[in-house]
Amino acid sequence: MRIILHVDLDAFFASVEQREHPEYRGLPVVVGANPKGGKGRGVVSTASYEARKYGIHSGMPISKAYKLCPNAIFLPVNFSLYEKVSSRIMNILREHADKFEQVSIDEAFLDVSKRVKDFDQARQLAILIKEKIWESENLTCSIGIGPNKLIAKIASGFKKPDGLTVVRPEEVEKFLSPLPVEEIPGIGKKTKKILNEMGIKTIGDLAKTNVSLLIEKFGKIGIFFHLASHGIDESEVEEEYEIKSLGREHTFEKDMEDVLFIHKTLESLAKEVWEELKRENLTYRTITVKVRYEDFETHTHSKTLNFQTDSLEEMIKAGKELLEPFLYSEKRIRLIGIRVSKLKEERIKKLK
């Protein structure tokens, strides 16, 4: 049995600003583009919970946010500050995990299966983590605890801000079934609309839907929706990259949704990695793909082959396979990367 924590900071950018400027505490704060008296272009990065009461949220045009609450405190994005705070918090989190995976600037998974003996101990650990973050950074977070990443992630969003939600394996179905389908990561506005039109509103409705119908409507990703609706998720908490590895990344000049172009880019990155492998006389066994969306949410996904290889074809095939689920998001892709690890010197293979 696994025990996974998902930690997500509350209104992260806005909370950092409120901490830096105590006079903004308790007031509506909107971080993002300049509203220019309602004529500004660009969007809201995030809003404090006080500002959310006016209906302001991430991704909303800044002009609309201004209309909803002209008296809010509008601040520019100070990304380098948030990154510094984030990396200190990630260091705290890393210390408390057997396996650690940072997902975005304010979000991480912790696999604590080895260091706690049950969900009660996991709850105690989560309380300790919250206290540490509060003491050292004066910030609150919400934590979800579950038997896998999917449940932990949904649980962390269940009660926000400053929430702590524990979902034990035997509670998974009861927990998921009343939630709206869009709580499942990967189900965005478009998919939600199609599901709702099919009469599927809650995760419970989705769980009762025949998987072949979902595949017919959505293709392969339908299988993922089916498994997710039953709370099944086998994916591991993955340390970003192993140290002994070779990789390449590419940031697109403009955020990208063209699948063909993304595939082309992946192929050329793989080729560069492969050329370096050849130079170093190495074979690999694990392929990791990294995807960063326009809002900086970052994912890595790995596959380990059951043989060492130096094949470029194999690398590209696995890379595309790993990339596939990320191409269905409604968000545009900002960066992709490919990395190979579990490296061995080819010489050893030849001697065998």
Residues annotated catalytic, as ranges: 107
Of the residues 8, 17, 183, 233, which one makes contact with Mg ion according to CB under 5 A = 8
Q: By three-state DSSP, how is residue 114 classified?
A: coil
> Minimum distance from CB of 8 to Mg ion (Å)?
4
> Is residue 8 near ligand TTP by the rule CB under 6 A?
yes
Select from 85, 98, 73, 86 the least CA-distant residue to 18. Answer: 73
- Tell me, what DSSP letter sits at residue 103? E
Q: Tokens at residue 101, please?
A: 């995976």
> Minimum distance from CB of 92 to ligand TTP (Å)?
17
**Contact partner, 160, from Mg ion, ligand TTP, none, Cβ < 5-8 Å per class:** ligand TTP
Q: For 211-222, give one letter per residue: b (16+ CB within 10 A) or e.
A: eeebeeebeebb
Alpha-carbon distance of 202 to 219, in angstroms, equals: 20
**Contact partner, 58, from Mg ion, ligand TTP, none, Cβ < 5-8 Å per class:** ligand TTP
**Contact partner, 93, from Mg ion, ligand TTP, none, Cβ < 5-8 Å per class:** none
**Contact partner, 105, from Mg ion, ligand TTP, none, Cβ < 5-8 Å per class:** ligand TTP
**Contact partner, 122, from ligand TTP, Mg ion, none, Cβ < 5-8 Å per class:** none
Alpha-carbon distance of 48 to 18, in angstroms, equals: 9
Of the residues 295, 310, 324, 346, which one makes contact with ligand TTP according to CB under 6 A = 295
CB 206 within 8 A of CB 200: yes
Select from 195, 215, 186, 194 the least CA-distant residue to 325. Answer: 186
Q: What's the burial of 65, exposed, middle or buried (CB within 10 Å: 0-12/13-18/19+)?
A: buried
**Could you count the other beta carbons within 10 Å of the beta carbon of residue 41?**
11
> Is residue 106 near ligand TTP by the rule CB under 6 A?
yes
Q: Max CA-CA distance within the chain? A: 73
Kindly list the distances between the CA atom of residue 178 and the CA atoms of 158, 184, 186, 196, 237, in Å, as whole numbers in the listed order.
Answer: 12, 12, 18, 14, 27
> Is residue 109 near ligand TTP by the rule CB under 6 A?
no
- Tell me, what DSSP letter sits at residue 61? B
Alpha-carbon distance of 347 to 281, in angstroms, equals: 8
> Minimum distance from CB of 184 to ligand TTP (Å)?
16
Q: Which of residues 91-130 bind Mg ion (CB under 5 A)?
A: 106
**Contact partner, 295, from Mg ion, ligand TTP, none, Cβ < 5-8 Å per class:** ligand TTP
Q: Phi and psi (nearest 5°) for 251?
A: -95, 125
Q: Tokens at residue 72, please?
A: 């809010």
* Smaller CB separation from ligand TTP, 164 or 200: 164
> Is residue 17 near Mg ion by the rule CB under 5 A?
no
**Binding-site residue total for Mg ion (CB under 5 A)?**
4
> Minimum distance from CB of 71 to ligand TTP (Å)?
20
> Is residue 160 near ligand TTP by the rule CB under 6 A?
yes
> Minimum distance from CB of 32 to ligand TTP (Å)?
7
> Minimum distance from CB of 179 to Mg ion (Å)?
18
> Is residue 225 near ligand TTP by the rule CB under 6 A?
no
Binding residues (CB under 5 A) for Mg ion: these are: 8-9, 12, 106
| Contact residues for ligand TTP, defined by CB under 6 A | 8-13, 45-46, 58-59, 105-107, 160-161, 295
